[in-house]
Structure formats: C-alpha cells, structure tokens
Amino acid sequence: MNGKQSYSRRFFLKTSGALAALAAIPASVKSLYTEVRNFIVSPRQTIPLSVTINKKALKLTVDTRTTLLDLLRENLQLTGTKKGCDHGQCGACTVHLNGERVLSCLTLAATLPGKEVTTIEGLANGDQLHPMQQAFIECDGFQCGYCTPGQIMSAVACVNEGHTGSVAEIKEFMSGNLCRCGAYNGIVASIQKVAG
Amino acid sequence: MKPFSFSKPGSLAKLMQARKDAAQFLAGGTNLVDLMKKNIAAPGALIDISTALSDKVELTGGKLRIGAMVRNSAIATNAQVISKAPLVAKAVLAGASPQIRNMASTGGNLLQRTRCPYFYDVSTPCNKRQPGTGCSALHGENRMSAIVGYNDQCVAVHPSDLCVALAALDATVNVTNAQQKQIVIPFKDFHKLPDNSPDRDNQLPANAIITSIDIPDNPFAQHHAYVKIRDRDSYAFALISVAAALHIQGGRIADVRLASGGVAHKPGAGTKQSSS
C-alpha cells in the first residue's frame, strides 16, 4: 500500500513534468520540422500568369511545374483536352498556341504569358460546330472518341498549313495523333472534306 | 517533379547571369519537360531562353545562319533553307510530329538526350543517367542501339535527324560560354562518342549556350537525299538514316557527302567526305 502510494506520486511528478516540457516544445519542433522538410522536399514555387484561353483573358497563379494540359484540365475544368501518354507521344493533348498546334503536356504553363491558347472548347461558334467537328461526325472520324479532341485540333491546323494535297500528305502531317481504335480512314476523309 | 523557380530573361547577357549550376535553360521543352517528369532532369531553376535568342534564319556572307530558337517547323518552311540547304529541310521533316516540330528549337535539337529505353527507365542501371552503374542496353533490348563507335559503357545513339544533315554539310555551332565569350565549334566535333564519360553527350562547355548554327555556302543544293529507315512510316526514331549529297559537275561527281544517323552516340559518325 505504502509502496504503491510513493510510486504513484513519483509517476505523477514525472508525467506532469514531461507534459509541461512537451507543452513548451511545439513551436520549436514545428519550425525544425518545416526546416527539415524544406531541406528534403523543396517547397512548391508559384508564379502569376496572364494568359488568353479561348479568347478569355485570365489572371492566374500557378505552380511552376504545371503543364498547360494540367492547367486546362485540373485548374480550369476545360476537360475536352485529353491526357493520353503525358509524354509527347500520342497527340491527345494537342491544342493551338498562337494558332499553331502544340502538345499541351510538354508545354509549361509558366511559358504562356502573352500567348493565346485555343482548345477544343474554343473551336465552335456558339452552338454552330466548327466545320472540322461537323466533318468528323459525318465521316465517322472517331470511335471511342478519346483521341478525337486532339485529332480535330491537329486536323484544323493541318488544313491551315495546307498539308492536304494527297492522302499520303494528310497521313504524314497527322502522324503525331495516334488513334487506337483505328479510325484513321474516317479522319483522313474528314480532313479531305474540309479542305475541299 | 521537383519544384523549381522560373525566369524568362530578355537578353543573352541576362541569360548568362541567371545561369547557375542548379539551373537549366528551357527552349522548346519537348525533351527537357519530359525528362523532368521522369525525374531524370531535376533543375532547381528553369531559365526560359525563348525571347532572348534569335528565332531568325539569315544569310550572312554566304553562310546560312539559323538562330538557336528557330523552331523545327520554321526551318522546314524557310525559303532560304529550302534554296541553300534543302537537305536540312528534308531531314527536319523526317523527325518528330508537326506538333513537336512547332515547339522544338534548333539549339535544343542538338542537345536532346538519347531515347535509349534504359536511360528513361530509372529502375535500371544506366551510365548515361547515373555514371558508374553500368549499361543495361549492352546485353538488353538494343536493336535500336549503336552499331558504330560504342563501347561497353554505353550503346546509346543520338536521335536527331536535323543533326545528320548538319554533319553532312559541315555546319558550325556558335556558342556563348560562361565568360560570355563567343566560341565556334565545328559540328563534327560538337557531339562525342561515349568514351569514359557517356553521361556527357557533347563538348558544349559547362554553363555555355548555343546561339546559332552556321551552314557554309555549299554546292549540294541540287542533288541530295535524306533516307530514314524506321519501324513505322512516320513519327518514329531512325533504325538508320543517311544524309547524302552530291556535287555534280559536267556529268561527273566532283564531291560527295554521306552522314549516318541513328547508329552512333554522335550524329554523322563515319561521315565520308571526298573530293576528286
């Protein structure tokens, strides 16, 4: 009985002391933790970004690591542009930058200030589809549809560039857009239809 | 991807001031951004060089000067390139896709890394990615690897098409070094064989930058070809490619140039030049 009492008193003193010490620590521990974390994992860096997307001028703040593709899909909810391989091999993410076709997955958002982006959402004129969109519907230019936004953006540029002289030329200048369903014949027919 | 700071200096002088060891220059980004996604390149700072360097093709004293920021698609459609060095335009069009050619720069084309699958697979040894770890391709998947000039340290090939034509036409590379001095490197000396340092692709000095490429006046505009053998007809790297050019005078071959691509650590390895 006596032994148990002295043990309890010592236990109380020890634990209350430890708790008091712990209560004093957090601020310094927290700053140490932040310092160590920043040393091991460098903190994210952001920059302001002024860019025009589908004729809308936007003022944003982005992580420097953000690609145009992720900016469109994750930050701006413009999910028409698709993420296929994310490594520049499939063309599903094709958009227009200052009127030229580029891969949004390999374009850092930080490089965009002063430039104009057009995505598949910016192609139609209100409810009036772009002639290329209409042609893809009429010529069966797609099956599952996943590569289609990239195909259409690339096809519009292909016509603008004037690379529609023959089926072989169209195929060569559309080779950056893969279609795993194999809708290539319909895609070529769509481009021929628009090129006239 | 490791976080990094981003800057876009407006002049060459400011670019060179911003260049620190942890920093890397960004041009078209078609290779570097991909390497950063795979953690093969992890710069602490990116310096966008797209407005500071020339994006013009100029004819100066008979030489065709292609600015480092001229996009691949602009090379292929430039009237002066087509008349003075059409082989270069043909080689450019044999590479990549229209989207990538709209982004990729001339300087970046020279500095692009190999597409050896082991270089990109961070779970495997690779002397180019991590010196001293060994070469996985040597006894691995190597049907697209080097067939000349390789050693047991590295069998990677340089993937460029443009460079093959530049090697055939005796181009020179204009460089500004870290001390902001201009130096000229002959194209045939720019890239290197793996030797004992396969992690280094070329002889560009540390923290230096390519500002332009010069193609000398040449008699090869009339008779030339760029032939590329690959697994599919378009948008694939070469199993082998050849840039060939003839100077024909009075029905006789006065001069011939042959340069190979896709077969060595440096484009144009085994380039043959002969004069009658």
Do B106 and B209 form a contact (C-beta atoms < 8 A)?
no
- pLDDT for res A3: 47
Q: Strand B23-26 to strand B45-48: parallel, antiparallel, or no bridges (unpaired)?
A: parallel
Longest pairwise C-alpha distance within chain B = 62
pLDDT at residue A6, as a whole number: 57
**CB-nearest partner of B100 from A47, A161, A176:** A176
More confident residue, B112 or A43: B112
Residue A171 has which token pair?
């195929």
User: Domains in chain B, start-ordered, CATH in brackets?
Assistant: 1-52 (3.30.43.10), 54-275 (3.30.465.10)
Q: How far is CA B46 from CA B8, B27, B221, in A?
A: 9, 10, 39
Residues A12 and A29 in one domain: yes
- For residues A4 and B183, what is the distance between their CA atoms, to the nearest angstrom? 86
B contacts of A102 (beta carbons < 8 Å): 99, 102-103
Using the 3D structure, point to which of A118, A143, A166 is the last residue of a domain: A118
Predicted confidence at residue A184, as pLDDT, reads 98
Q: Is the pLDDT of residue A153 over 90?
A: yes
Residues of B in contact with A44 (CB under 8 A): 3
**CA B14 to chain centroid:** 25
Q: What is the pLDDT of residues A4-42, one digit of tens each?
A: 555 677 777 777 777 777 676 777 788 888 888 877 877
- Which H or E run contains B225? strand B223-229
The pLDDT value recorded for residue A150 is 98
Distance CA B104, CA B98 (A): 10
Total domains in chain A come to 3
pLDDT of residue A38: 78
Question: What phi and psi values does residue A129 have, to the nearest 5 degrees?
Answer: -65, 150
Strand pairing report for B63-67 and B209-215: antiparallel
Among A101, A106, A173, select the one facing B29 at the smallest CB separation: A106
Do A189 and A177 share a structural domain? yes
Q: Over the stretch B229-265, which tens digit does the pLDDT of each residue have? A: 999 999 999 999 999 999 999 999 999 999 999 999 9
Q: Compare all CA atoms of chain B with the CA of A96 and give the residue at the minimum distance.
A: B99
Same domain, A52 and A75: yes
Q: Rounded mean pLDDT of A89-115?
A: 98
Whether residues A36 and A49 fall in one domain? no
How many Cβ atoms sit within 10 Å of the Cβ of residue B11? Answer: 11
Range of the domain at A32: 2-40
β-strands B182-186, B172-176 pairing: antiparallel
Scanning every residue of chain A, which has its alpha carbon at the shortest distance from the alpha carbon of B47?
A: A111
- Predicted local confidence at residue A30, as pLDDT: 80
pLDDT, position B276: 43
Residues of A in contact with B29 (CB under 8 A): 106-108, 111
User: Block means of pLDDT (10 residues each) for chain B, length 276 residues?
Assistant: 95 92 95 97 97 97 96 98 98 98 98 98 97 98 96 98 98 96 97 98 96 98 97 96 97 96 92 56
Q: Which amino acid is at B134?
A: G
- B273 forms bridges with which residues in the sheet? B257
3-state DSSP of A174-194: CCCCCCCCCCHHHHHHHHHHH
Band the pLDDT of A70: cuts 50, 70, 90: very high
Q: In degrees rounded to 5, what are phi and psi of residue B114?
A: -65, 160
* Res B166: pLDDT: 98
Q: Are residues A192 and A137 in the same domain?
A: yes
Mark yes or no for CB contact B33/A107 under 8 Å: yes
CB distance B196 to A134 below 8 Å: no
Looking at the fold, whether A30 and A18 belong to one and the same domain comes out as yes
Closest CA to B267 of B236, B235, B242, B244: B242
Query: Six-digit token pair at B268?
Result: 């144009």
CATH number at A78 reads 3.10.20.30
**pLDDT exceeds 80 at position A145:** yes
Looking at the structure, do residues A48 and A91 belong to the same domain, yes or no? Answer: yes
Kindly give the pairing relationship between strand A100-103 and strand A46-53: unpaired
* Same-domain check for residues A82 and A144: no
Residues A109 and A59 in one domain: yes
Indicate whether A22 and A51 sit together in one domain.
no
**Is the CB of B102 less than 8 angstroms away from the CB of A158?**
no
Of A118, A143, A160, the last residue of a domain is: A118
User: Residues B114, B156: contact at Cβ < 8 Å?
Assistant: yes
Q: What is the pLDDT of residue A7?
A: 64
A106-142 residue pLDDT tens: 999 999 999 999 999 999 999 999 999 999 999 999 9
Last residue in a domain, options A98, A118, A138: A118
